[in-house]
Amino acid sequence: MKRSEVNRYIKQAIKLFDENNFHLPSWALLTPEEWKDKIATERCKEIIDHTLGWDVTDFGKNNFMKEGLTLFTLRNGSPKSEKTYCEKIMVSYVNQITPMHFHWNKMEDIINRGGGILALQLWKANKKEEKTSDSFTVQIDGITQNIEAGEIIRLNPGESITLEPYIYHQFWAEKETCIIGEVSKVNDDSNDNRFYEPLGRYPEIEEDESPLFLLCTEYL
């Protein structure tokens, strides 16, 4: 991705969050220059070590509006710490697909926080990591629902779904841009994403302009 794209989509996310009264922590708006001073202290160690903050990805496909996602990780721990949970806020544009994947370890709630309809297409994987034709159950706002392989679930604003490990899912917004919440066990995007099609989780950045904000992989 080009740095100009990253800058543009972060600015759009900030505007969207502001319009919907979703407030980010103050450090979300620190400039790269301001981060230089922060890194010299231990006060931001958790932010840096647990990759909190901005994350804009096209999954290495170089077509962000077709396959991409804007994320901000608000809090995250580690399996070895007392903080064993994670929270993210995300932006998905209309028909912008987050590619099919599952997590080996992470259970997560995906929440439509506002905007359009959030569509998720689901399959159960076997231990060989293959998609199966098996039916299965999920929890939608605490209510058990039977799901057929490849079925599309549509969540209205305020609705959520719980996804267990080994459930392949891809998702996108319909009608309007969606603000998406995620509450989960500890998140490890470097090691706990099994994409059905081999993809890169973090894109290479072409520096066509200066960064307005640092991505979560760029603090050091």
Can you tell me the distance from the alpha carbon of 96 to that of 98, in angstroms, rounded to the nearest whole number?
7
Strand partners, 195: 101
pLDDT in tens, 47-75: 999 999 999 999 999 999 999 999 999 99
Closest CA to 181 of 107, 74, 106: 74
Residue 39 has what pLDDT?
Answer: 83
Can you tell me the distance from the alpha carbon of 212 to that of 205, in angstroms, rounded to the nearest whole number?
13
Can you tell me the distance from the alpha carbon of 15 to that of 93, in angstroms, rounded to the nearest whole number?
14
Residue 101 has what pLDDT?
Answer: 98
Question: What does the pLDDT average to over 8-26?
Answer: 97
Does pLDDT of 220 surpass 80? no
Can you tell me the distance from the alpha carbon of 89 to that of 164, in angstroms, rounded to the nearest whole number?
19
Hey, what are 162's tokens? 């719980």
Q: Which pTM was predicted?
A: 0.95
Hey, what are 76's tokens? 């995250």
pLDDT in tens, 138-180: 999 999 999 999 999 999 999 999 999 999 999 999 999 999 9
Hey, what are 11's tokens? 């600015």
Residue 138 has what pLDDT?
Answer: 98
Residue 79 has what pLDDT?
Answer: 80
pLDDT in tens, 102-114: 999 999 999 999 9
pLDDT in tens, 188-215: 998 999 999 999 899 999 999 999 999 9
